[in-house]
A and B are shown apart, each in its own frame.
Chain A
Amino acid sequence: MSTATAPLTETVTSTLLDFHDVEMTFPDGTVALRGVHLTVDRGEFVSVVGPSGCGKSTLLRIASGLESASHGVAQVDASRIGYVFQDATLLPWRSVQDNVELLAELNGQSKQARRAKADRAIELVGLTGFEKHLPKQLSGGMRMRTSLARSLTLDPELFLFDEPFGALDEITRERLNDELLRLFVEQQFAGLFITHSVSEAVYLSTKVVVMSGRPGTVVRTFDVPFPMPRDPDIRFSPEFAELVGEVSRALREGHR
């Protein structure tokens, strides 16, 4: 999409998200995150892997502004942030079309404008022809596509994903991974992606961040050398397997 509407200053900064020594302590005293350093630059797709309960999701909640860090600096220089939840979180009484229009509607945009945005987003995720369907008539994968389309209407600079494909079967998940990669290349957003799956993280990302168990902190960062747009067959190459192995090892060590 065109960036003509974006203020000029935005093209100057290249770091969209900058976490410096971020700590999160919940009111009950649980320390979810401690000393987290993390950056996401324009053009980057960063995945975060870590054991359950290590505060991965909390990272996203801080980045989106749903929560604020109890200590440290969490700076986000993106005016349009997309957020894809674990569940599709569609409104069951709205059709695909109306669900996708929701965010523009909440932002007070005209019917015409949001209609155009929704049409385009629905086309981008390949749901054309399903506009009138209700969520209950869709498969899990199609619901997730609808959810993606809804966030795409924001034309996000920074896209936050909270384990969006965790509940899907392997085949659907792989297909959605490919589509997400295509969107990443076409739409030029930066991504911060939370996942449990190491191979998904390596396949999707330009950078993989491994976190330790609670209190969560970054134990290692891997650069993923494979070029974009990514060849699906890369998943079967020895280099890919080797990197997945390394990340898994780091994950296991961090867990100890």
Chain B
Amino acid sequence: MVTLQEVTESRAARATSLAVRRTKKRTPATWWQPVVVLALLVGVWWLVAAYYDKSKGLAFLVPYPHLVLQALVNDPTQPTFNQELWQALGRSTTVALTGLAIAIVIGVAWAVLMSQARWLERSLYPYAVVLQCVPILALVPLIGALFGYGFPSRVIVTVMIALFPMVSNTLFGLQSTDKGQRELFQLQGAGRGTRLAKLQLPAALPSIFVGLRTSAGLSVIGAIVGDQFFQRGNPGLGVLIQVTASRLMGPELYATIIVASLLGVAVFLLFGLLGRLAVGRWYDFS
């Protein structure tokens, strides 16, 4: 029997959660502020562009904002550029998502393995750190020689860049269960597999999604860097950036950089949203 006081308590709890939701509804205030900043930045950009154009005669170094917008939408001077840009975006997205998917599988498996025993963690964790410390540039010639200078090598670089946050966050999450919860399972004679499936993995989901968000952002970086290292085959955004830069195509270069940045932001937001959908019901990301 639920007594009056507890009912009032739960009402109070509901009221506070409503209050929390109400403060969250104030998010319009958080989106127009960046927009104002953007407008200011574009203004400053225009002034700098005017300076480079009029006083220095180097218009391609800092092109006018409206020319960049033109390059994004419909480039009058380079009719094929627009199509190339979206194709490059598609290719880089494919590399990033393929690399991210592989990083998720390897990262979670690695962390699950380490969570099974202290000695496994002690033996395997240093290599996750080593992976993080290896200068990717130093491996470029080797990766190229072994796997060619196209898609596979780009994906490998992406995986190497995006893997560490998956490993460390998943491991942290798997180890975040408290002693009482583990003993509860132990008292029922639950085995490793059961404990992993019903306790550790669900408990790890919030931090897996935090890792996923970070890794997703890194996978875009990996795709673009990998593209610049391994330039054979169809060009992605990284190649396009180098080509437009070397040909002094200012507006096109800026347009490509902007698209690459937006890809990073989009991926970051997408995985943040996925995380909230998956575990937001019981876990408050802050």
On A, residues with C-beta under 8 Å from B are 64-66, 81, 83, 85-87, 89, 91-93, 102-103, 105-107, 126-130, 134-139, 141-142, 171-172, 175
**Pick the contact of A91 from B9, B13, B199 — CB < 8 Å?**
B199
Binary per-residue interface labels of chain B (178-218) against chain A in the complex, 1 for a CB within 8 Å, 0 otherwise = 10110111111110001000110011010000000000000
Query: Do A103 and B199 form a contact, CB below 8 Å, given A134-B282, A137-B14?
Result: no
Q: Which B residues have a C-beta under 8 Å from some C-beta of A?
A: 1-3, 5-6, 9-10, 13-14, 17, 178, 180-181, 183-190, 194, 198-199, 202-203, 205, 279, 281-283
* Least Cβ–Cβ distance between A61 and chain B, in angstroms: 8
Given A92-B283, A107-B188, A134-B282, answer yes or no on A126-B10 (Cβ-Cβ < 8 Å).
no
Known: A85-B184, A105-B198. 16 other contacts (CB 8 A): A66-B183, A66-B186, A81-B187, A85-B183, A89-B184, A91-B202, A92-B282, A92-B283, A93-B281, A106-B190, A126-B1, A130-B2, A137-B14, A139-B9, A142-B10, A175-B3
Q: How far is the CB of B187 from chain A (nearest CB, A)?
A: 6
Whether B178 pairs with A89 at a CB distance below 8 angstroms is yes
Given contacts A93-B279, A93-B282, A106-B194, contact A141 B6 (CB under 8 A): yes
For the residues of B in contact with A, the DSSP-based class is helix
CB nearest to A171 among chain B residues: B5
Contacts of A135 in B (CB 8 A): 282
**CB neighbours of A86 from chain B (8 A):** 180
**Which one of B10, B185, B283 contacts A137 once the chains associate, using CB atoms below 8 Å?**
B10
Nearest-Cβ distance from residue B260 to partner chain A, whole angstroms: 37
The one of B13, B188, B202 that contacts A139, using a Cβ cutoff of 8 Å: B13
Bound Cα distance A129, B2 (Å): 9
Query: What is the bound-complex CA distance between A128 and B199, given in angstroms?
Result: 25
Chain B residues, CB < 8 A from A141? 6, 9
- Supply 20 A–B pairs (Cβ within 8 Å), ascending by A: A81-B187, A89-B178, A92-B282, A92-B283, A93-B203, A93-B205, A102-B198, A103-B184, A106-B185, A106-B189, A126-B3, A128-B2, A134-B282, A136-B282, A138-B10, A139-B9, A141-B6, A142-B6, A171-B5, A172-B5
Q: Which residues of B contact A81 (CB under 8 A)?
A: 187
Residue of A nearest to B283 (CB): A92
Chain A residues with Cβ below 8 Å from B281 are 93, 134
Residues in A with CB closer than 8 Å to B3 are 126, 175
A83 touching B187 by the CB < 8 A rule? yes
